[in-house]
């Protein structure tokens, strides 16, 4: 009997652990760790799973089912990726199946199908091309053309083929997509058929990518300034003895140009590079910049690609791209899971950004922190880039865990924008406000429009107004499924819940006292857009938020319109705060700094600082000096003062003192456990039990259970327990204790309708 009879399979389900299956005799040489296999699981259902381990230990006490089929001739997931998955599952306290679900494009996952043979979900796309029927010499081709002069349509078609194939430009003729040829030469299919019949052209079916490739000749990286060169050298120096470096450079200091130099260096060594961005809205401009230098070896990956495209990118990153492999990938957090074969460098741009953290579903991973682990597995280096680093990363840098490199000047010694504080409370009192705009902001906008410069207005709330209120009794329409008020969306004529998507008609009268004078309170981007159109009727206005960017290319369109000066004023949520590099943009308005600052969370101040610093950084990036107007009812607020002076160091000092005093990260390791139940009293009961059991182990390090700010979402009541664990203590052991405690709770009678979500390092 042969060895290695069994395989442990990961299934794309939220179930714990792996499942042991027998390897069929015939498959012995063609199955590997990381192979994708088809197996029966439960009631006649078939799933594709990934082989985690091959061994010779039969499962205890039962007959192992046999693997139905091995789906590919090679392992789809590398052993390095399997190690990465298992780190994620362990650290973020989830199952390997949940990691698999997040990691593998669903085009590679078959779930719950019932019949064999299963048609593969992914099929390479083939299309008809035409090429010359044989290797004609130049004189031979001239002869053919002479003969065709009597058939002008065929003559034109052949000439167009020779042009499109590159032959006319002196290159060996390439096959040309048939549909393209017909369109370009305004020809009929009949003319093409005639040439094929005459054995001049021939039709071939070729595999094409679904992805558009970029075919420009690469430009060399820009020559760096003195400061940039010094920074580049210091980064190299850091990497001699450290694996992670923080590049702390003010907005527009030229960090991206430094990345480009480092990328080129890695690509020349034959290494791959991953360039992470927090949000896909940022990718458009960066992709263009990187494409200019690295052309077709650059791939992009984020959740908006369809399944087929994702599979194709996966294959290109794994080196199975038929000559179209990707060595540089620009991506959102999920790009971490691509099958890199040899990473040399990971860049995490805007490392402070909260969207690196996945909130739901599990795995609730932070892509910044996970990137460092992935890099270590590859023996690669990590650069964290930021104009205002997270408190955690800066702390790691000054305590020597990371290298630290600073760029204090903008490229070209452009001044940082002037920041003006506009006191809304005073302006309201003196009746100087024009709808939601202070005189200072209006003046700055007027000036900019007069000089044909562009403006962005930032408001961190979408919709028309956050809520509607009855002025008589204070009644506010709220979601039927969640404990939050509904947001008024004027153009859709709806009240919408931003937590669960529930929507309903706009009420005409108060449900409490029947009064009809309901009025809207506060303002979101939609209302600002309406008002700006009234205040500046001749300006061209656009809006960028979750509601206007549902289509795949909507970001591109909005950004292109800004670049081409087709938009004078862009209004938006945090989507517009990062990455934009628009030469003619000189004025930034922050419409309401107060609501960010007053958010009840220990990171609210840090986050507000980042946000204001980021969005300010969009102004005056070239010759023209930028102006930022911050509207606030409290101009003496200490965080706003720090923004005015671009004073990150003091922000850090104050934050670090506070977090040390109240024991928050980076001085402890936080784990949040959320319990959800549709029955409020059962929820309370279970939450109390878990709180008590955890307190028995971790004592005063357990806080709660408590209702969060929004205590009910989609009919589920929620209670949270927070653990603040000592950093020095082995966190693996703590996690194990938590796991066991939670499992014990899950074993209680009636606990099956309880949902438990564990969030390690919540953000
Ligand atoms: P950051 O990433 O720090 O915000 P960027 O790399 O976007 O800064 O640089 C800001 C602007 O300055 C960009 O338009 C960029 O092309 C330009 N720039 C930066 N460094 C150079 C350089 N060495 N030569 C020419 N232009 C540069
Ligand atoms: Zn809701
Ligand atoms: Zn009322």
Instruction: Determine the distance separating the centroid of ligand 2 and the alpha carbon of 185, expressed in angstroms.
Output: 55
Whether 651 and 643 have beta carbons less than 8 Å apart is answered as no
Burial class (CB in 10 A: 0-12, 13-18, 19+), 402: buried
For residue 471, the tally of other CB atoms under 10 A from its CB is 12
In this predicted structure, which of 242-246, 313-317, 530-534, 746-750 has the lowest mean pLDDT?
746-750
Structure tokens given for 700: 């005063």
State whether the Cα torsion 504-510-516-519 is positive or negative.
negative
For residue 691, the tally of other CB atoms under 10 A from its CB is 19
Q: What CA–CA distance (Å, rounded) separates 447 from 444?
A: 5
DSSP string, 91-112: HTT--HHHHHHHHS-GGG---S
- Determine which residue's CA is closest to atom 4 belonging to ligand 1: 252
Binned at pLDDT 50, 70 and 90, residue 405 comes out as: very high
Whether 458 and 628 have beta carbons less than 8 Å apart is answered as no
- Determine which residue's CA is closest to atom 14 belonging to ligand 1: 581
Residue of 4, 9, 6, 3 lying closest to 77 (CA atoms): 9
Q: Which residues pair with residue 9 across a beta bridge? A: 19, 51
Structure tokens given for 426: 């005073």
Whether 161 and 168 have beta carbons less than 8 Å apart is answered as no
Q: What CA–CA distance (Å, rounded) separates 134 from 23?
A: 49
Cβ of residue 225 lying under 6 Å from some atom of ligand 1 = yes
The minimum-distance atom of ligand 1 relative to the CA of 583 is: 14
Structure tokens given for 435: 């709808």
Average pLDDT over residues 244-255: 94
Closest ligand relative to 285 C-alpha: 1
Each residue of 564-614: pLDDT tens digit?
Answer: 999 999 999 988 887 788 889 999 999 999 888 888 788 999 999 999 998
- Determine which residue's CA is closest to atom 20 belonging to ligand 1: 254
Closest ligand relative to 468 C-alpha: 3
Cβ of residue 185 lying under 6 Å from some atom of ligand 1 = no
Res 75 pLDDT > 50: yes
Mutate to test the pocket of ligand 1, among 254, 352, 616, 618 (most ligand atoms within 8 A of CB): 254
Burial 514-542, CB ≥16 within 10 A → b, else e: eeeebebebbbbbbbbbbbeebbeebebb
Closest ligand relative to 473 C-alpha: 3
Structure tokens given for 483: 């404990």
Cβ of residue 222 lying under 6 Å from some atom of ligand 1 = yes
Closest ligand relative to 512 C-alpha: 3
Average pLDDT taken over every residue of the chain: 89
Res 449 pLDDT > 80: yes
In this predicted structure, which of 141-150, 246-255, 533-542, 649-658 has the lowest mean pLDDT?
141-150
Q: What CA–CA distance (Å, rounded) separates 60 from 73?
A: 30
Burial class (CB in 10 A: 0-12, 13-18, 19+), 560: middle
Binned at pLDDT 50, 70 and 90, residue 757 comes out as: very high
Instruction: Determine the distance separating the centroid of ligand 3 and the alpha carbon of 476, expressed in angstroms.
Output: 8
Cβ of residue 252 lying under 6 Å from some atom of ligand 1 = yes
Q: How many CA atoms lie within 13 A of 617 on its CB side?
A: 26
Cβ of residue 255 lying under 6 Å from some atom of ligand 1 = yes
Average pLDDT over residues 443-451: 96
What own/partner pairs with CB < 8 Å and gap ≥ 24 does 476-479 have?
477/504, 477/507, 477/511
Closest ligand relative to 228 C-alpha: 1
The minimum-distance atom of ligand 1 relative to the CA of 253 is: 3
Closest ligand relative to 504 C-alpha: 2
Instruction: Determine the distance separating the centroid of ligand 2 and the alpha carbon of 711, expressed in angstroms.
Output: 11
The β-bridge relationship of strands 403-407 and 244-249 is parallel
Closest ligand relative to 471 C-alpha: 3
Closest ligand relative to 288 C-alpha: 1
- Determine which residue's CA is closest to atom 23 belonging to ligand 1: 224
Mutate to test the pocket of ligand 1, among 232, 248, 405, 411 (most ligand atoms within 8 A of CB): 411
3-state secondary structure of 659: helix
Instruction: Determine the distance separating the centroid of ligand 3 and the alpha carbon of 165, expressed in angstroms.
Output: 73
Instruction: Determine the distance separating the centroid of ligand 1 and the alpha carbon of 259, expressed in angstroms.
Output: 11
Cβ of residue 249 lying under 6 Å from some atom of ligand 1 = yes
**Strands in 223-374 per DSSP E:** 244-249, 272-276, 298-301, 328-331, 343-349
Which residues are close to ligand 3, an ion, with C-beta < 5 A?
A: 470, 472-473, 475, 510, 512-513, 515
Mutate to test the pocket of ligand 1, among 257, 413, 622 (most ligand atoms within 8 A of CB): 257
Instruction: Determine the distance separating the centroid of ligand 1 and the alpha carbon of 621, expressed in angstroms.
Output: 9
Q: Which residues pair with residue 329 across a beta bridge? A: 274, 299
Cβ of residue 411 lying under 6 Å from some atom of ligand 1 = yes
Place of tokens 């979402």: 713
Cβ of residue 418 lying under 6 Å from some atom of ligand 1 = no
Whether 72 and 36 have beta carbons less than 8 Å apart is answered as yes
Res 119 pLDDT > 50: no
Give me the phi and psi of 715, to 5 degrees please: 75, 0
Residue of 307, 228, 225 lying closest to 262 (CA atoms): 228
Maximum mean pLDDT: which of 91-100, 215-224, 462-471: 91-100
In this predicted structure, which of 46-50, 270-274, 576-580 has the lowest mean pLDDT?
576-580
Each residue of 622-670: pLDDT tens digit?
Answer: 778 899 999 999 999 999 999 999 999 999 999 999 999 999 999 999 9
**Strands in 4-161 per DSSP E:** 6-10, 19-22, 36-41, 45-55, 69-70, 125-132
In this predicted structure, which of 69-78, 89-98, 547-556 has the lowest mean pLDDT?
547-556
**Global confidence as pTM:** 0.83
Higher-scoring residue by pLDDT: 122, 489: 489
3-state secondary structure of 2: coil
Instruction: Determine the distance separating the centroid of ligand 1 and the alpha carbon of 529, expressed in angstroms.
Output: 31
Res 120 pLDDT > 70: no
- Determine which residue's CA is closest to atom 19 belonging to ligand 1: 254
- Determine which residue's CA is closest to atom 10 belonging to ligand 1: 252
- Determine which residue's CA is closest to atom 9 belonging to ligand 1: 254
Instruction: Determine the distance separating the centroid of ligand 2 and the alpha carbon of 603, expressed in angstroms.
Output: 25
Cβ of residue 589 lying under 6 Å from some atom of ligand 1 = no
Element containing residue 385 per DSSP (H, E): strand 381-386
Instruction: Determine the distance separating the centroid of ligand 1 and the alpha carbon of 647, expressed in angstroms.
Output: 22
Residue of 652, 641, 582, 650 lying closest to 617 (CA atoms): 582
Instruction: Determine the distance separating the centroid of ligand 1 and the alpha carbon of 252, expressed in angstroms.
Output: 6
Residues in Cβ contact with 441 at an 8 Å cutoff, skipping those fewer than 6 apart: 422, 589, 591, 629, 631
- For residue 117, what pLDDT is reported? 47
The β-bridge relationship of strands 36-41 and 45-55 is antiparallel
């Amino acid at each position: 009997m042969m060895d290695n009879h069994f395989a442990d399979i990961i299934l794309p389900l939220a179930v714990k652990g792996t499942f042991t299956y027998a390897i069929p005799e015939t498959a012995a040489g063609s199955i590997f760790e990381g192979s994708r296999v088809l197996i029966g699981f439960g009631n006649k259902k078939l799933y594709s799973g990934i082989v985690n381990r091959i061994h010779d230990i039969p499962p205890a006490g039962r007959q192992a089912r046999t693997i139905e089929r091995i789906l590919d001739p090679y392992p789809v997931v590398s052993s390095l990726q399997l190690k990465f998955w298992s780190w994620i599952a362990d650290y973020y306290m989830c199952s390997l199946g949940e990691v698999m679900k997040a990691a593998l494009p669903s085009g590679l996952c078959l779930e719950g199908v019932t019949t064999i043979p299963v048609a593969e979900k992914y099929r390479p796309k083939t299309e008809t091309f035409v090429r010359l029927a044989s290797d004609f010499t130049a004189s031979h081709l001239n002869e053919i053309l002479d003969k065709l002069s009597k058939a002008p349509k065929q003559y034109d078609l052949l000439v167009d083929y020779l042009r499109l194939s590159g032959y006319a430009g002196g290159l060996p003729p390439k096959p040309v997509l048939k549909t393209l040829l017909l369109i370009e030469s305004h020809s009929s299919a009949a003319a093409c058929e005639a040439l094929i019949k005459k054995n001049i052209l021939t039709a071939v079916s070729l595999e094409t990518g679904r992805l558009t490739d970029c075919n420009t000749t690469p430009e060399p990286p820009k020559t760096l300034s003195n400061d940039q060169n010094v920074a580049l050298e210091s980064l190299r120096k850091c990497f001699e003895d450290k694996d992670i470096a923080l590049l702390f450079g003010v907005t527009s200091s030229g960090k991206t140009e430094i990345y480009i130099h480092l990328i080129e260096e890695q690509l020349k060594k034959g290494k791959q590079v991953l360039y992470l961005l927090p949000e896909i809205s940022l990718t458009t401009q960066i992709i263009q910049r990187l494409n200019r230098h690295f052309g077709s070896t650059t791939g992009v990956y984020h959740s908006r690609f369809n399944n087929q495209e994702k599979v194709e990118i996966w294959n290109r990153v794994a080196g199975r791209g038929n000559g179209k492999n990707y060595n540089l990938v620009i991506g959102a957090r999920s790009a971490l899971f691509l099958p890199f074969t040899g990473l040399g460098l990971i860049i995490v741009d805007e490392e402070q950004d909260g969207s690196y953290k996945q909130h739901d579903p599990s795995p609730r991973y932070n892509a910044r922190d996970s990137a460092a682990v992935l890099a270590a597995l590859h023996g690669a280096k990590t650069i964290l880039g930021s104009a205002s680093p997270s408190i955690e990363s800066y702390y790691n840098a000054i305590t020597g865990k990371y290298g630290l490199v600073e760029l204090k000047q903008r490229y070209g010694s452009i001044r940082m924008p002037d920041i003006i504080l506009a006191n809304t409370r005073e302006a309201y009192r003196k009746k100087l406000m024009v709808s939601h705009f202070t005189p200072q902001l209006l003046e700055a906008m007027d000036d900019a429009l007069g000089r044909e410069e562009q403006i962005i207005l930032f408001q961190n709330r979408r919709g028309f107004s956050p809520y509607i209120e009855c002025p008589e009794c204070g009644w506010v329409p709220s979601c039927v499924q969640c404990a939050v008020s509904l947001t008024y969306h004027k153009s859709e004529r709806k009240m919408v819940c931003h937590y669960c998507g529930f929507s309903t008609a706009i009420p005409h009268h108060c449900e409490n006292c029947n009064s009809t004078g309901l009025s809207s309170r506060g303002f979101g981007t939609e209302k600002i857009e309406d008002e700006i159109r009234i205040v500046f009727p001749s300006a061209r206005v656009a809006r960028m938020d979750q509601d206007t960017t549902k289509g795949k290319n909507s970001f591109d369109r909005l950004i292109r319109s800004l670049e081409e000066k087709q938009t004078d004023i862009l209004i938006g949520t945090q989507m517009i705060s990062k990455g934009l590099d628009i030469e003619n943009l000189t004025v930034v308005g922050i419409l309401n700094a107060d609501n960010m600052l007053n958010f009840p969370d220990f990171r609210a101040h840090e986050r507000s600082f980042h946000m204001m610093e980021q969005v300010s950084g969009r102004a005056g990036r070239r010759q023209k000096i930028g102006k930022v107007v911050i509207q606030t009812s409290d101009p003496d607020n200490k965080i706003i003062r720090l923004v005015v002076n671009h004073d990150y160091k003091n922000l850090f000092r104050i934050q670090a003192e506070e977090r040390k005093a109240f024991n928050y990260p980076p001085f402890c390791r936080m784990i949040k456990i959320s319990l959800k139940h549709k029955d409020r009293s059962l929820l309370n009961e279970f939450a109390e039990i878990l709180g008590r059991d955890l307190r028995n182990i971790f004592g005063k390090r357990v806080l709660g259970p408590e209702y969060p700010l929004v205590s009910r979402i989609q009919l589920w009541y929620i209670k949270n327990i927070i653990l603040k664990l000592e950093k020095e203590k082995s966190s693996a052991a703590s996690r194990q204790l938590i796991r066991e405690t939670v499992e014990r709770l899950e074993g209680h009678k009636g606990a099956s309708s309880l949902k438990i979500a564990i969030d390690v390092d919540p953000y």
